[in-house]
Structure 1
Amino acid sequence: MKITRTITVDTPPSAVYAYLSDFTTSDQWDPGTIDTTLVEGDGAVGSTYHNRSVFRGNETELTYVTMDLQEDRLVVMRGENRTVIVQDTMSIRPGPGGVGTELVYEADFTFKGLVKLATPFLRGPLTKLGDEAEEALNRELPRL
């Protein structure tokens, strides 16, 4: 199940990239995140993060790994626990007319085990999560 949102802000791509590539900021823009801490690495590809989140009232923990970074263009993070794999892909490009930034945020969820059977019932809550992430990014990115 994939959720895609496009956010356009006046903030330069370099600032958006710097903010999103530091995944410890996810507690500011990811509505489910309680906190994210860097566990291993320096933020470069291969770095590992511990993420505590709440989804549908249940607290969960995920291990995220930085999969790809392309300066001012792309941030790809992969999170996993026993019930889900989520890949966050954040594509960054200059905004319309070369002003600001257009961010395409994609969260691709693959559920595992028994939770996989509930996937059709999770569309609504995941759509809401995407809407809330879009709101938070529209609030946070212009502050950079």
Structure 2
Amino acid sequence: MITVERDFLLPVPLDSLVAYLEDFGRAEEWDPGTVSCVRVDEGPVREGSLWRNTSRFRGRLTELDYRLEAREPARLVFVGTNKTVTATDEMRFEARSATTTSMTYEASLRFKGLARLAAPFLRPEFERLADEVSERLPKALSKSSGWT
């Protein structure tokens, strides 16, 4: 299993940040690997909401079906699966002030079958992608709502 974690201090109120990130379709804006992320069910975003995520990794396209597993006032958990991997994206939030939120983003990948053998060699690439999230998320928030 590979786990990467990044901490952010963002000039966005906690409730607004959670509302932005709970729509996983916005991953196109802040996740450097995401090519498209389309909601496949209807209604308001809630626990159980579903998305089809297409990502580019090492030059290849891959699809994962993501589900919002947990939606709490200060925590979101998305789990994506396909035949070779289960990806878990957990976001934890803490209000630092009325207008600033601390966020911890943790992405874990559990490979299945023969793909498990490649996991140790893929860590540097996932660390690089996590660094890119650190750069892109604040910019995406700024474009989306003008908070920053």
Q: Normalising by structure 1, report the TM-score.
A: 0.93
3-state SS of paired residue (2:48)? coil
Cα deviation code 1:93-136 (max 9, x no counterpart)? 112x5650111000011011111101110011010111111111
Q: Does 1:3 align with 2:4?
A: yes
The residue number in structure 2 matching 1:39 is: 40
Q: Cα offset for 1:51?
A: 0.6
Q: Distance in 2 between matches of 1:24 and 1:123?
A: 25
The aligned residue for residue 137 of structure 1 is: 137
The residue correspondences of 1:80-95 to structure 2 (distance < 5 A) are: 80-95=81-96
**Match of 2:12, SS?**
coil
Q: Identity rate of aligned residues, in percent?
A: 36
Q: Which runs of 5+ in 1 are unaligned?
A: none
Classify the secondary structure of the residue corresponding to 2:29.
Answer: helix
Q: CA-atom RMSD, angstroms? A: 1.3
Point out 4+ residue stretches in structure 1 off by more than 3 angstroms.
Answer: none
Q: Deviations over 1:23-63 (max 9, x none)?
A: 11000001100111111243211111111110111000000
Contact kept? 2:38, 2:52, Cα under 8 Å: yes
The answer to whether structure 1 residue 12 and structure 2 residue 13 are counterparts is: yes
Q: Displacement of 1:142 after TM fit?
A: 3.9
Distance between the aligned counterparts of 1:59 and 1:126, measured in 2? 15
Unaligned runs of 5+ in 2: none
